[in-house]
């Protein structure tokens, strides 16, 4: 990405999330390298990255491993620290510019859709430090079986993604599962292992089967 000068780069990058070597980092600063016509970014890793916490990585702004876009956004699994609830949140990027515009991921350019209600209203700034966000960036999700086993054991409506684009939720009162695709519910099932796909969603059967959902 090209910039006219250091303030220009700083304005567009500061405090937004970027990917470096496939892992999420937040931009802490942009500096002009003296004499050379180069700029560097100071990146702080996500708490759940492999690097030690509180380190800062300095990266040339033209480094091909640095990306503001290739996040492959999708579901983020937000699990409470005590494992008493879980919510899958679909994170979608908006093609938006305006005041406070950032090139990396930032709450100004994201839209969040929750599969099950959160106890507190959540914004991106609330979920960006969650391990689920780091897992989304590296495409790490539980299997469908693990996800259903976890949420079925909770006594509040909960949801969990088992793929970047697929999630399942469970309502303990009604004792049924709902499947979600890219933020929208697509059908219900009493048993997640035997899902009846509504006719109107038949076009998704291939996607579902490819991701371990057994259709009846």
Q: State in angstroms the smallest separation of the CB of 67 from other proteins.
A: 8
Please choose, from the candidates 50, 76, 44, the residue with its C-alpha nearest in 3D space to the C-alpha of residue 159: 76
**Any contact of residue 140 with other proteins (CB under 8 A)?**
no
Please tell me the distance from the alpha carbon of residue 190 to that of residue 196, in angstroms, as a whole number: 9
Residue 199's CB: how many other CB atoms inside 10 A?
A: 6
Beta-carbon contacts of residue 133 (< 8 Å; ≥ 6 apart):
24, 46, 76, 127
Is 70 one of the binding residues for other proteins (CB under 8 A)?
A: yes
CB 109 within 8 A of CB 93: yes
Question: Which of 93, 123, 125, 140 is in the footprint of other proteins by CB under 8 A?
Answer: 93
Nearer to other proteins, 33 or 92 (CB): 92
Q: Would you say 88 and 162 are in contact if contact means Cβ atoms under 8 Å apart?
A: no
**Helix or strand holding residue 37 (H, E):** none
State which of residues 52, 64, 95, 121 lies at the interface with other proteins (CB under 8 A): 95
| Smallest distance, other proteins to C-beta of residue 92, A | 4
188 part of the interface to other proteins, by CB under 8 A: yes
**Given the complex with other proteins, which of 144 and 204 has the nearer CB atom?**
204
Nearer to other proteins, 57 or 215 (CB): 215
- The CA R_g of the chain, rounded to the nearest whole Å, is 20
Identity of the residue, 84 or 202, whose beta carbon is nearer to other proteins in the bound complex: 202
d(CA 192, CA 169): 10
Does residue 56 bind other proteins (CB under 8 A)? no
Q: Which of 57, 68, 138, 154 binds other proteins (CB under 8 A)?
A: 68
Binding stretches for other proteins (CB under 8 A): 1-2, 4, 68-70, 73-74, 92-98, 103, 111, 163-165, 181-188, 196-207, 209-211, 214-216
């Amino acid at each position: 990405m090209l910039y006219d000068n250091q303030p220009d780069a700083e304005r567009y990058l500061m405090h937004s999330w970027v990917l470096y070597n496939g892992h999420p980092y937040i931009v802490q600063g942009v500096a002009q390298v003296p004499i050379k016509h180069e700029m560097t970014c100071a990146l702080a890793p996500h708490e759940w990255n492999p690097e030690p916490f509180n380190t800062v990585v300095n990266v040339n702004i033209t480094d091909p491993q640095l990306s503001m876009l290739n996040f492959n956004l999708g579901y983020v699994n937000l699990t409470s620290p005590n494992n008493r609830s879980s919510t899958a949140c679909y994170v979608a990027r908006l093609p938006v510019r305006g005041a406070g515009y950032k090139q990396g991921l930032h709450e100004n350019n994201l839209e969040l859709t929750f599969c099950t209600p959160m106890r507190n209203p959540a914004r991106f700034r609330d979920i960006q430090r969650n391990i689920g966000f780091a897992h989304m960036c590296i495409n790490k999700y539980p299997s469908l079986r693990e996800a259903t086993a976890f949420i079925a054991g909770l006594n509040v409506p909960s949801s969990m993604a088992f793929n970047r684009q697929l999630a399942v939720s469970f309502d303990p009162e009604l004792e049924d599962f709902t499947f979600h695709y890219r933020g929208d519910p697509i059908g219900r099932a009493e048993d997640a292992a035997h899902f009846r796909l509504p006719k109107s969603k038949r076009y998704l059967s291939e996607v579902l089967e490819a991701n371990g959902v057994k259709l009846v």
